[in-house]
Structure 1
């Protein structure tokens, strides 16, 4: 770690530290494709919010509270950009027929960055033809780990309630998985490496 950062003026430390936290809040889960130049400039953008708020608050609250408030403000700005600003800009570009694309690295990144819908059902087809399914993710909403996780590397974690396999005669057998939830031992979460996944079917349900 470069300790020269701690010798920099306070306002610069605040801009970089608060700005980076704001950046993390704004792009959590969708920043794997960002290059160093993207990280640097986005940190500067959110850092401006921190420094502007600090300059406003410092004379009113004192230095230490102003620093804390400024960093918190940068994070709030990042969250606001993720929740409101980013969708508004993308919607405006589409309505203006300027661009129908986005900067997300994959379709799955776009889907799972959406917070307006829940995944209600999941069916994963493996490379050997087997299918693993969770019929109702809501049954696991209080589980220790989220009912369904799609990793950035393509790996998948789900609670398997049914396993299906194609038989030699062309029929498909379905085996309900018993004891997925166990009051004594806990919930049985299945993790599937990316290399084993052929394709994934999901149902999305709008949040009430």
Structure 2
């Protein structure tokens, strides 16, 4: 920590802005990143902050009283803004461009599960989870859970799932409805660890744009 404090303020800006931007841009996608991946992305975002500092510095001039404050804030804020834009606009379109050119068919995400859960603008209506012991846990319809805690479901980056189980089908038995899922004390959510899941079925569609 002492070594970090003793670094120049520009270097500290690179580290802080780079890390904050990395967290925003790759939220939910970092579990499969190796150290070299994380460090490289942090430096890319942080380097943008350093570039902004060196661009603005000559325009401000040394006589400006709050020069370092303006430079520091700019060096952090601009990379964060770019990180948000990268997450919402650029990353997906960047992948589409490379697929269009025929260079690569992969989308930059480590697993198909990450690709599924990171797709934006989708309306989820049903989720079925088959556990390794053959039991099927179902949540349908999902719409009534939209305003509940963590609703309508939680799709973990590690492959785990949190869901409001409305129906259960045991091996060799008929599908049955879960009683008292919701009462005066709240609503019951079920957590299924990744190592207990054999299959996940999701029903979803693109959200309709309101006029």
2:12 maps to which residue?
A: 13
1:87-122 residue CA offsets vs partner (Å, 9 max, x unmatched): 121111111111111332210111111112132210
Three-state SS of the structure 2 residue aligned to 1:153 is: coil
1:86 maps to which residue?
A: 91
Three-state SS of the structure 2 residue aligned to 1:152 is: coil
Match of 1:122 among 124, 127, 135: 127
Three-state SS of the structure 2 residue aligned to 1:118 is: strand
CA-CA distance at 1:141 after TM superposition: 1.1
Pair 71,146 (structure 1): closer, same or farther in 2 beyond 3 Å: farther
Is the contact between residue 31 and residue 158 of structure 2 (CA under 8 Å) also seen in structure 1?
A: no
Which moved further from structure 2: 53-62 or 31-40? 53-62
- The separation in 2 between residues aligned to 1:142 and 1:45, in whole angstroms, is 38
Q: Which runs of 5+ in 2 are unaligned?
A: none
Report the TM-score, using the length of structure 1 for normalisation: 0.88
1:158 maps to which residue?
A: 163
Provide the aligned C-alpha RMSD in A: 1.9
Is the contact between residue 126 and residue 197 of structure 1 (CA under 8 Å) also seen in structure 2?
A: yes
Is the contact between residue 49 and residue 77 of structure 1 (CA under 8 Å) also seen in structure 2?
A: no
Report the TM-score, using the length of structure 2 for normalisation: 0.87
- The separation in 2 between residues aligned to 1:95 and 1:14, in whole angstroms, is 37
Three-state SS of the structure 2 residue aligned to 1:103 is: coil
- The separation in 1 between residues aligned to 2:198 and 2:100, in whole angstroms, is 35
Pairs within 5 Å for 1:141-180: 141-167=146-172, 172-180=173-181
1:205 maps to which residue?
A: 205
1:190 maps to which residue?
A: 190
- The separation in 2 between residues aligned to 1:106 and 1:203, in whole angstroms, is 19
Q: Which runs of 5+ in 1 are unaligned?
A: none
After TM superposition, what 4+ stretches of structure 1 lie above 6 angstroms from structure 2?
none
1:107 maps to which residue?
A: 112
Three-state SS of the structure 1 residue aligned to 2:129 is: strand
CA-CA distance at 1:57 after TM superposition: 5.0
